[in-house]
Chain A
């Protein structure tokens, strides 16, 4: 019985370490644009779409350009290389996951929050 217990404990420890390590490295904190600018690595920012008439793909770079304003009121120009999520223009708020590259925020992932309560919604992944 004790032998079993030891094996079980070792397995639990290994598993916990494995889970904890991966959990820590994949955890991206929610922050504001100001915090994201001063931080290396990935962050996610919940922000609101402004200037909705000017959301467009740039023909030279092939990326989607738009402007976001976070809850503190900071503006950020965001680029996203990938498909625009369905309903993007009508989103209440969006979550961008990425980091600042120079003067713009480069989003690796784009999540759309929709105003409706119970609807299967849309997501954009690279």
Chain B
């Protein structure tokens, strides 16, 4: 009860508070403190009721109240407390509640502000009204009858510390990015452009930081747990959060440029607004089922889909109309400023990042775009790699160029400018030489490596200068270095990756990629069981346990990662084969195959009505062994629930078992079972990957977040409105 009542009260108070603020904003007279306080009080009630609903959901999860469908579907009695808490955001309704609570809490700070207060809160509360509406329509407090005795448990792949923190961080980012949008909209309404933009800056930086951290944590989780050896799959869900991260990057840089006195007012306000619209679009993409067919995250359409679209359209139309109406006026402000080198650099950044965002968005929505022309199609990941290359290359060139505060290209100073470039050029050339020596051959990789190393060197010199002379600016420079290292890691780990699928018979050594592997058997640890493999590399050895266990009926497999200084050894368990269960063989009509002492010819096949009018697919196979030819007849007979094999015995006593006979294509799949399988042996199939320089990617991500984090800290501690 408290949960659903809380959501109802939150919805009503959001509407009332929003209406009151709207009334105050429209009247535009002296702010009557009594009315403001009433609106504030209503807002506080809104926050309180959402928080109560949230606490109640935690309580229901912790005390296993399975009468609620959400608790039943996402938790289980044997789950440890940490994962019970994270079950809060394991499902759609819970994540929406989390989003609503986080943004309500952020609003507590906004509601006490003086600048632009009434319109700001109107725009902010529209978002709260929509979020509470979603919770009303599709509540996490729906009950089930009869009450199940136990929960269905949490997907074990989600039982990872990274997955515990990933959703709250992403949603904190989403919630924070609503603030710059509302400030920009309010500023456009009240024509207090600069002030609104400056108020938006700390929120934009913080939101950008959280969204970036969330994306990186998500990628790290995929790498650690999923076992396909990658961190980014260009899935619509992943892309949907990357696009607003890119535009938030533009927002932050535009606002910083504006603060430094450059003419960035139009782009600042525009990207403040568009970023939140893209955040909502991300939610539409992932929750409304528009591209469900094309994502590995199979989201289905729910009752909230039309309202989600309304949520998106509201901010989109409002933003566009307001921006269009003030467009000329914004231009007048800009024309007071001079155009400098910095200005052009910021313009380039805006163009390049918007290009990237747009290309990713086009790719993500490709099923819809192709649908317009009547095709059922979607782009594959090659689209992103191919289209992304050019903007990314330009981006690194820009990163290299922007490391200098000003490029003096006058003839009198040219000599000095060039001498400053001697060290970077030597550095780039030596890295290129090493890369070619190491095996990097493709021109596109070498070109991007050149851009990245040049950017690294120049940005590095810049960072050192910043630490020496103006430590306050070091955050941004550190983030740049981090970003460069990240991409260097991505470039190396993907282009120099080696992988091999190996078959490990038990207790036998197998060599692959400079390592020796020996499968030693199943090993039960607490909770998850695993397969133990002895890994040796030049005398050094260690035991790796690869998680391989059943969750209910599902077989779960997780990788084992050994991190070395220069590379990661990534072991991914694939399957466990028993040799007695012999492998499948495929043969074409008219073709032959050698199996042990037999040469097997697939002579003919026929489709027959057999006895009791059951359909039979018959095949004739000739066997040659010890210079003797034998013909055997095998068949598949249709029975109620499929096909039943009619086997034949070979001269040596083995059973020939047909598994599939395709009469259209003339192909047969079969198995030969030996009768004397006394030597039953396990074979463990494993993928071995060597991924160089993943450490660089890791270090880069940490530096990027550290740098952005420093910038966030600076925005909130020293806040001079210049």
Contact = CB atoms under 8 A, between A and B. Distances in A.
A83 B597 CA distance: 32
Contact of A57 (B362, B386, B577): B577
Contacts of A18: 387, 390
Given A86-B557, A122-B228, A117 B379 contact: no
A26 B382 contact: yes
Interface in A27-74: 27-30, 42, 44, 46, 51, 54, 56-59, 62-65, 67, 74
Contacts of A2: none
A111 B378 contact: no
A28 B659 contact: no
Given A22-B387, A59-B683, A121 B298 contact: yes
Interface string B343-369: 000000001000100110011001001
B230 interface: yes
A86 B227 contact: yes
A57 B359 contact: no
Contacts of A87: 554-556
Nearest to B577: A56
A67 B381 CA distance: 25
A118 B669 contact: no
Contacts of B235: 123
Main secondary structure, interface of A, reads mixed
Contact of A29 (B228, B362, B377, B586): B377
Contacts of A59: 503, 583, 683
A110 B227 CA distance: 14
The winner among A15, A30, A109, A123 for most chain B CB atoms within 10 A is A123
A83 B380 CA distance: 18
A42 to B, nearest CB: 7
Nearest to B384: A26
A26 B577 contact: no
B158 A85 contact: no
B163 A44 contact: no
A101 interface: no
A122 B660 contact: no
Contact of A119 (B297, B556, B669): B297
Contacts, number: 169
Contacts of A30: 376-378
Contact of A83 (B227, B376, B662): B227
B296 A57 contact: no
A117 to B, nearest CB: 6
B669 A23 contact: no
Contact of B379 (A23, A121, A124): A23
A88 B237 CA distance: 20
A117 B302 CA distance: 11
Nearest to B386: A22
Contacts of A111: 296
Given A27-B370, A84-B574, A125 B660 contact: no
A70 to B, nearest CB: 13
Contacts of B383: 22-23, 26-27
A6 interface: no
Contacts of B228: 82-83, 85-86, 122-125
B233 interface: yes
Contacts of B110: none
Contacts of A120: 155, 157-158, 163, 221, 297
Given A29-B376, A30-B376, A103-B588, A113 B386 contact: no
A28 to B, nearest CB: 5
B160 to A, nearest CB: 10
A15 B479 CA distance: 29
Interface string B310-354: 000000000000000000000000000000000000000001000
B226 A122 contact: yes
A111 B669 CA distance: 24
Given A81-B501, A103-B665, 20 more contacts: A18-B387, A19-B359, A23-B366, A27-B379, A30-B377, A54-B669, A56-B575, A57-B575, A58-B583, A59-B683, A62-B503, A75-B662, A75-B665, A85-B228, A86-B558, A87-B554, A114-B296, A117-B300, A120-B155, A125-B233
Interface of A: 11, 15, 18-19, 22-23, 25-30, 42, 44, 46, 51, 54, 56-59, 62-65, 67, 74-75, 77, 81-87, 89-90, 97, 103-104, 109, 111-125
Interface of B: 90-92, 155, 157-158, 163, 221, 226-230, 233, 235, 293, 296-300, 351, 355, 358-359, 362-363, 366, 369-370, 375-383, 386-387, 390, 500-501, 503, 553-558, 572, 574-575, 577, 583-584, 586, 588, 659-660, 662, 664-667, 669, 671, 683, 685, 687
Smallest CB-CB A-B distances: 8 pairs: A26-B383, A29-B377, A22-B387, A30-B376, A26-B379, A83-B687, A123-B233, A57-B685
20 contacts: A22-B383, A22-B386, A22-B387, A23-B366, A26-B380, A27-B379, A29-B376, A30-B378, A58-B584, A82-B228, A83-B228, A86-B558, A114-B296, A117-B91, A119-B155, A119-B158, A122-B227, A123-B226, A123-B235, A125-B233
